[in-house]
Amino acid sequence: MELLYATVSELSEMLSSKKITSVELMKAYLNRIKTVDPKVEAFLSYNEADALAQAKASDERRASGKTLGPLDGIPVGIKDVIAVKDQSLTCASKILEPYVSPYDATVIARLRAQGAIIFGRLNMDEFAMGSSTENSVFKVTKNPWDVSRIPGGSSGGSAAALAAGELPLALGSDTGGSIRQPAALCGVVGLKPTYGLVSRYGLAAYASSLDQIGPFGRTVEDVAILLQTLAGHDSEYDSTSYPAKIPDYRASLKNRGPFKLGVPREYFGEGLDPEVKTGVMAAIDFYKKQGHEICEVSLPHTGLAIPVYYIIATAEASSNLARYDGVRYGHRSEKATDALDLYYKTRAEGFGAEVKRRIILGTYVLSSGYYDAYYLKAQKVRTLIRNDFMDAFRKVDAIIGPTSPTAAFKVGEKTDDPISMYLADIYTICVNLAGLPGISIPCGFTKSNLPVGLQLIGQPYQEDRLLAIANKFDEAHKFGLKQPTL
Amino acid sequence: MSTTAINIKHLKMLARLDLTPEEEEKFARQLGDVLEYFKELDKVDVANIEPTSHAFPLENVWQEDEAKPGFTVEEALRNAPKKRANEFVVPRVVEE
A202-215: pLDDT as tens digits: 999 999 999 999 99
**Predicted confidence band at B1 (pLDDT cuts at 50, 70, 90)?**
very low
Could you confirm whether A154 is annotated as catalytic? Answer: yes
Burial class (CB in 10 A: 0-12, 13-18, 19+), A246: middle
| Rounded distance between C-alpha atoms, residue A450 and residue A306, angstroms | 25
A281-338: pLDDT as tens digits: 999 999 999 999 999 999 999 999 999 999 999 999 999 999 999 999 999 999 999 9
The structural domain count of chain B equals 1
Measured from the Cβ of residue B58, the count of other Cβ atoms closer than 10 Å reads: 12
Contact A131, A181 (CB under 8 A): yes
Rg of chain B taking only CA atoms, in angstroms: 23
Contact A461, A241 (CB under 8 A): no
| pTM over cut 0.95 | yes
| Rounded distance between C-alpha atoms, residue A175 and residue A213, angstroms | 9
Residue B16 lies in a domain: yes
- Does the pLDDT at position A30 exceed 50? yes
Residue B25 sits in a domain whose CATH number is 1.10.20.60
| Rounded distance between C-alpha atoms, residue A63 and residue B73, angstroms | 40
A44-74: pLDDT as tens digits: 999 999 999 999 999 999 999 999 999 999 9
Residue A219 pLDDT: 98
A403-431: pLDDT as tens digits: 999 999 999 988 777 777 788 899 999 99
Tell me which of A22, A58, A79, A472 is the catalytic residue.
Answer: A79
Query: How far is Cα of residue A290 from the mean position of the Cα atoms in its chain?
Result: 29
CB-CB neighbors (< 8 A) of B44 in chain A:
301, 304, 381, 384
B34-81: pLDDT as tens digits: 899 899 899 999 999 999 988 888 888 898 899 999 999 999 999 999
Could you confirm whether A178 is annotated as catalytic? Answer: yes
Residue B7 lies in a domain: yes
Residue B12: which domain range?
1-44
Q: Which of A233, A231, A215 is nearest to A470 (CA)?
A: A215
Residue B4 pLDDT: 53
Contact A363, A353 (CB under 8 A): no
A169-174 and A75-79 beta bridge pairing: parallel
User: Any CB–CB contact under 8 A between B95 and chain A?
Assistant: no
Complex ipTM, two decimals? 0.93
Residue B3 pLDDT: 43
CB-CB neighbors (< 8 A) of B81 in chain A:
98, 326-327, 329-332
| Rounded distance between C-alpha atoms, residue A154 and residue B91, angstroms | 36
| Rounded distance between C-alpha atoms, residue A42 and residue B8, angstroms | 36
Tell me the helices (H) and strands (E) count for chain A, helix number first.
16, 11
Contact A369, A236 (CB under 8 A): no
Identify the three-state secondary structure at position B85: coil
Average pLDDT, chain A: 96
CATH architecture of A8-263+394-481: Alpha-Beta Complex (3.90)
- Does the pLDDT at position B2 exceed 60? no
Residue B40 lies in a domain: yes
- Does the pLDDT at position A448 exceed 60? yes
CB-nearest partner of B91 from A304, A342, A384: A342
A354-368: pLDDT as tens digits: 999 999 999 999 998
Residue A449 pLDDT: 98
Segment A338-348 mean pLDDT: 96
Residue B4 lies in a domain: yes
| Rounded distance between C-alpha atoms, residue B8 and residue A195, angstroms | 34
CB-nearest partner of A363 from B14, B40, B93: B14
Q: What one-character-per-residue DSSP string does A201-216 give?
A: TTBPPSSTTT-EEEEE
| Rounded distance between C-alpha atoms, residue A20 and residue A3, angstroms | 10
How long is chain A?
A: 486
DSSP run (H or E) holding A79: strand A75-79
Segment A81-88 mean pLDDT: 97
| Rounded distance between C-alpha atoms, residue A58 and residue A223, angstroms | 21
Segment A374-398 mean pLDDT: 97
DSSP run (H or E) holding A288: helix A274-289
Residue B86 lies in a domain: no
Q: Is B79 in Cβ contact with A329 (below 8 Å)? A: yes
- Does the pLDDT at position B89 exceed 80? yes
For residue A258, whether the previous peptide bond is cis, meaning omega lies within 30 degrees of 0, is yes
The domains of chain A are located at: 8-263+394-481
Q: Which of A469, A36, A106 is nearest to A257 (CA)?
A: A469
Residue B12 lies in a domain: yes
Contacts of A410 (CB under 8 A, 6+ apart): A148, A149, A150
| Rounded distance between C-alpha atoms, residue A291 and residue A287, angstroms | 7
CB-CB neighbors (< 8 A) of B48 in chain A:
none
